[in-house]
Amino acid sequence: MNIVIAGGTGYLGSRLLRMLASHGHRMLCICRKPREHVGDERIEYCDLADLPRKIQSFLPELYINAIGRYLKGEATEGEVLEANFEVPAKVLHTCVSSGVRRVITFGTALPDDLNMYTFSKKIFADLGRWYANQGRVEFMNISLEMFYGIGEPENRFLPWVIQRLVNNMEIPLTQGSQKRDMICVEDVLTAVHSLISVDLPQKYVDIPLGSGEAPTIRAVIEYLHKLTGSQSALLFGKVPMRNNEPNTIADREEMNKWGISIAYHWKEGMKMLVNHAVERKSAACRSQED
Count how many domains the chain has: 1
Predicted local confidence at residue 289, as pLDDT: 64
Cα separation, 247 vs 251, whole angstroms: 13
Give the three-state DSSP class for 125.
helix
Beta strands in 109-226 (DSSP E): 138-144, 146-148, 171-173, 182-184, 204-209
User: Rounded to 10 degrees, what is the CA torsion of 231, 232, 233, 238?
Assistant: -170
pLDDT for position 281: 78
Residue 225, domain member (yes or no)? no
Neighbouring CB atoms inside 10 A of 22's CB total 9
Does 20 fall in a domain? yes
In-domain check, residue 216? no
Look at residue 286 in the predicted model and tell me its pLDDT: 67
Q: Are 16 and 144 in contact (CB under 8 A)?
A: no
**What 3-state DSSP class applies to 104?**
strand
CATH number of the domain where residue 4 is located: 3.40.50.720
What confidence score (pLDDT) does residue 290 get?
58
The amino acid that residue 108 corresponds to is T
Whether 213 maps to a domain, the answer reads no
Cα 157 to Cα 162: distance, rounded to the nearest angstrom: 9
Number of helices followed by number of strands (H, E) in the chain:
10, 11
Report the chain's C-alpha Rg in angstroms. 20
Question: Does 54 map to a domain?
Answer: yes
Q: Tell me if 248 is assigned to some domain.
A: no
Q: Which contiguous run of DSSP H or E holds residue 96?
A: helix 87-97
Domain extent for 133: 1-144
Tens of pLDDT, residue by residue, the chain (290 residues) = 999 999 999 999 999 999 999 999 999 999 988 878 877 889 999 999 999 999 989 999 999 999 999 988 889 999 999 999 999 999 999 999 999 999 999 999 999 999 999 999 999 999 999 999 999 999 999 999 999 999 999 889 999 999 999 999 999 999 999 999 999 999 999 999 999 999 999 999 999 999 999 999 999 999 999 999 999 999 999 999 988 899 999 999 999 999 999 999 999 999 999 999 988 877 777 666 65
Q: Which pLDDT does position 39 carry in this prediction? A: 75
The reply to whether 15 falls in a domain is yes
Q: Give the per-residue pLDDT at 244.
A: 87
| Residue whose C-alpha is closest to residue 11's, from 65, 62, 68 | 68
Say if residues 139 and 105 touch (Cβ distance below 8 Å).
Answer: yes
* Domain annotation covers residue 63: yes
Kindly report the pTM of this predicted structure.
0.94
